[in-house]
Amino acid sequence: MTTACMYLRLSREDGDSMESNSISNQRQIIQTYAKVNGLKIAYEYVDDGYSGSNFERPDFKKMIQDLEEGKFSTIIVKDLSRFGRDYIESGKYLQKIFPEKGVRFISVNDSYDSENADMSDTHLILPIRNFINDSYCRDISMKVKSAKDVKRKNGEFIGAFAPFGYKKSVADKHQLVVDEEVSHIIKRIFQMKIEAYSSKAIADFLNNIGATTPAKHKENKGKKHATGFIIKDGKWDAKMINRIIENKVYTGVLEQGKTMKLNYKSKKEIDVHEDDWVVIDDAHEEIISKSTFALANKMLARDLQTSKDKPSLFAGMLYCADCGSALVRRTVKTKKGVNIYYICSNYNRTGDCSRHSIKEDEIKLQVKDSLNHYLERYRNVLEKISRLDLKDITINADFSSLENEKAKYERLRRSLYLDLEDELITSEEFERYRRNYLFKIKQIKEQITTKQEVVKELEKRLKDKESFISSVIPSKDLDEVTRAMLITFIDKVEVLEDRQINFVFNNIDTVNLLEKLADKNKATNAKKLAKPISLHQAYSKIDPTPRYGSVGGGM
């Protein structure tokens, strides 16, 4: 009696409800056929839940391995689609590999038996049926892809597992709701990043207090699966912290369609360009605000130290005005006590720049005075805007002053090569000047981009005046500058060699423009409000560098 094996397969696409293709039904059909035809079924291989579009299936591989070892010489399947739906790969096995090895292949429902099949069955009918099965697989893939696209555009979450901090709603599995068990961990991560803790320091803190990791949380819920968060020792690490901080899902934004399969036959995924992602705002409840997200990501982009100590008030905020490098904190113990000061990290590391030394107490004093002055401007402009009707205002942007400033530094940079050739400057001076000019050009480019974004956002927000009036601004001067106030209203603090301090304020472009708009709208005639305002006018008296001003100081 011929020793045979049966191969059974059911994919997720086929579904458990399709009784004609169920595993038990396939087994019964093959056993009946074997009994009638005098075949002994010695082995059974089952791939339950695996697609037929490829042959990367565990039991199929085991079957081929056992075949190589000579355990059987006959393979029986219910029909060709159970064997595989890949037209090319199926044909390779049935028309080349199996015949060369003397393997008998039987497809019961297709009435095909390679032992007595004629040429037309093997080389004409069989390929046609394989092609039909392949086409069916492609058609199913396209329908599934189309259905997923519709769900994404409707703001429905289609991931297998909810992001850490969320869970799927019991009422609607496509809706994310806050997971109160772990959402406090997300809030703590963002808060610590704003306070200037490094990602490693945050991870160490979470490990020390025994905070649940994303992988452990899913495991506790009985969801065993592969996840990008799993690491060898099951602890938090810096990469996990960074992924959470960069994920907009925590602000209520649903970003999907970031990757796609190469084709319906391949499991390989390729990245989709960000412009083609499906992004839905306010798709679910936020865990952290958009402003907190922006501040945390600003700190993430800066080179924060990995010290275990609590970060200083100015961590990630102080920069050299000449070379753009961060200032480093230094502590000097004297008989009178401890002096804390900052110097340029580039000078400290390589000596290329100058010292730019300044005491911490002096920075604190100047920060408080300048921040209070800026907040007073902010309060005044909000009060003016509250009295105006700005619904019909449009803004015409003119960036010629900034473009001219950028062109000036580009000319200076080009002239360096002539000066070097004429030996008017040394190679060291050439490199130093070149870096400084490139730094200035980069700054101006960023200013142009920022102001373009300001115009777009301002035109949008001017339609809803309350969005400005509701801005969270302290109602009185600050007695003490906290980390939260510092990072909320100041982007960075730049220190010059002569200990002058430049403050780069957040939203300074918006404040400058609003002040100009308010002055232009003092007239009560409502028709005049529709007249376009040139952004160039708003910035005509402002230095191209986005600073509120400079204040002096000494040691």
- Pairing mode, strands 254-256 and 278-280: antiparallel
Domain of residue 189, CATH code: 3.90.1750.20
The 10s digit of each residue's pLDDT in 424-440 is 889 888 898 898 899 98
Per-position b or e across 420-446, b if 16+ CB within 10 A of its CB: beeeebeeeebebbebbbebbbebbee
Residues 110 and 170 in one domain: no
DSSP reduced 3-state for 481: coil
- Residue 513, CB half-sphere, CA atoms under 13 Å: how many? 27
- Collect contacts of 524-528 with beta carbons under 8 A, ≥24 apart: 526/389
| Predicted confidence (pLDDT) per residue in 280-291, tens digit | 999 999 999 988
Residues 179 and 82 both lie in one domain? no
Distance of alpha carbon 402 from alpha carbon 536, whole angstroms: 9
The torsion angles phi and psi of 547, rounded to 5 degrees, stand at -115, 150
Written as tens digits, the pLDDT of the chain (555 aa) is 788 999 999 986 554 444 446 899 999 999 999 999 999 999 999 999 888 888 889 999 999 999 999 999 999 999 888 998 887 888 889 888 998 999 999 999 888 898 887 765 555 566 667 666 677 667 777 777 788 888 899 999 998 899 999 999 999 999 999 999 999 999 999 999 998 899 999 999 999 999 999 989 988 887 655 555 555 567 999 999 999 999 999 999 999 998 887 765 666 788 888 888 999 999 999 999 988 998 899 889 886 665 667 888 898 899 999 998 999 999 888 888 888 999 999 998 888 899 999 999 999 999 999 999 999 988 888 787 777 665 555 555 667 888 888 899 999 989 988 888 888 889 888 898 898 899 989 888 888 887 777 677 666 666 655 555 555 577 777 888 888 889 889 999 999 988 889 998 987 877 877 777 777 665 444 444 444 544 333 333 334 444 444 444 443
Q: Do residues 66 and 172 both lie within one domain?
A: no
Question: Does a structural domain hold residue 125?
Answer: no
Rounded to two decimals, what is the model's pTM?
A: 0.61
93 plus 190 within the same structural domain: no
**pLDDT tens column, 257-285:** 988 877 656 667 888 888 889 999 999 99
Do 83 and 171 sit in the same domain of this protein?
Answer: no
Separation CA 494–CA 548 (nearest Å)? 11
User: Which contiguous run of DSSP H or E holds residue 168?
Assistant: strand 166-168
Domain count along the chain:
3
Q: Does residue 164 fall inside a structural domain?
A: yes
Q: 501 near 493, Cβ under 8 Å?
A: yes
Structure tokens, 348: 């400290």
pLDDT for residue 283:
93
Residue 52 domain flag: yes
Rounded Cα distance between 532 and 392, Å, is 9
Q: Is the dihedral of CA 34, 35, 40, 46 positive or negative?
A: positive
Quickly list DSSP for 330-388: EEEEETTEEEEEEEEHHHHHTS-S----EEHHHHHHHHHHHHHHHHHHHHHHHHHHHT-
Report whether 493 contacts 367 (CB < 8 A): yes
Residue 291 sits in the same domain as residue 393 = no
- DSSP structure class, residue 122: I
At residue 126, what are phi and psi to the nearest 5 degrees?
-60, -45
Residues 289 and 188 in one domain: yes
- If asked whether residues 54 and 190 sit together in one domain, one would say no
Same domain for 537 and 406, yes or no, is: yes
Residues 86 and 99: their CA atoms lie apart, in Å, by: 19
Enclosing domain of residue 191: 155-302
Decide: helix, strand or coil at residue 166.
strand
Short-list 518, 504, 513, CA closest to 547: 504
